[in-house]
Amino acid sequence: PSSARRRLTQHRKPANTNVGKDAEVLRAFYQRLFPFKYLFQWLNHSPTTTTDFSNRELAFVLPNDAYIRYQSFNSAEELRKQCIQLTPTRFEIGPVYSANPRDRKTLRNASAFRPLAKELVFDIDMTDYDEIRTCCSGASICQKCWQFITMAIKVIDKALRDDFGFKHIMWVYSGRRGAHAWISDKRAREMDDNKRRSIAGYLELLKGGDKTGKKVNLRRPLHP
């Protein structure tokens, strides 16, 4: 897996020539299907409002490729209304800040606005297995090569639970070519970057870049 992420990352998207049509489809999706209530409860870590949700940053990617950061909401209904109005093609989940992200420019002390917590996230990408899978390549996947992702999930999930004691782990399809693990334990959310890197390093077995011949270097004692 790649190292755990704490901040939002920006992504470039190709130009969309069907903005109007896509917006109508997305509006219907947000009105009828998207589970805003459950998203709120998950990111809020409670069915009732806390600062875990109201001080959390969300970033929207709009149908015209505009990228809007520092959005925040006090409830699932507020988020729902904004999504229906703006019809984002996706939104990205950021950290919980010390203050409401919308109010960051009004704070007298700019340094007081800082990230406090973020779920511990691990990525598994199908492209990591391009050298050993023989059916697909790149972002293409099939039932055969997806078994690599399935095995990686089982190994990493067991390590996170048994070796680190995490309990609240949710695995989700990345939407394109892999899977993400979101760890919501309070202890995990409040880890600093050094601790996150240490956990990622503990799980890392493959070393080197694309041109490295030998990538698996086993040491004694063997990794658990």
- For 146-199, the pLDDT digits (tens) are 999 999 999 999 999 999 999 999 999 987 889 999 999 999 999 999 999 999
Give the Cα separation of 38 and 12 in Å (integer): 28
Extract the tokens encoding 10: 């920006």
Residue 9 has pLDDT above 80, yes or no: no
Cβ(203)–Cβ(156) under 8 Å? Answer: yes
DSSP state of 16: P
Reading the block at residue 203, the tokens are: 């799980």
pLDDT above 70 coverage of the chain, percent: 85
Q: What are phi and psi of 172, to 5 degrees?
A: -135, 150
Does residue 15 register a pLDDT over 60? no
Strands 178-183 and 169-173: antiparallel
Measured between alpha carbons, how far is residue 180 from residues 54, 85, 108, 146, 151 in Å? 24, 28, 38, 14, 14
Length of the chain equals: 224
Task: Give the residue, 16 or 24, on which the prediction is more confident.
Answer: 24
For residue 173, give both structure tokens.
């399809």
| pLDDT, tens digit (0-9, with 9 covering 90-100), for 61-78 | 999 899 999 999 999 999
Active site residues: 57, 123, 125
Residue 47 has pLDDT above 90, yes or no: no
- At residue 152, φ and ψ (nearest 5 deg) are -65, -40
User: For residue 7, is pLDDT > 70?
Assistant: no
Task: Give the residue among 21, 19, 23 at the shortest CA–CA distance from 31.
Answer: 23
- If you average pLDDT over every residue of the chain, what do you get? 85
Q: Computed over its alpha carbons, how large is the radius of gyration of the chain? A: 20
Q: Please tell me the distance from the alpha carbon of residue 165 to that of residue 153, in angstroms, as a whole number.
A: 16
Token digits of residue 171: 């695995």
Contact 22, 16 (CB under 8 A): yes
163 alpha carbon, distance to own chain's centre:
22
Q: Provide the pLDDT confidence category of residue 2 given band limits of 50, 70 and 90.
A: very low
For residues 183 and 121, the answer to whether their CB atoms sit within 8 Å is yes
d(CA 218, CA 17): 50
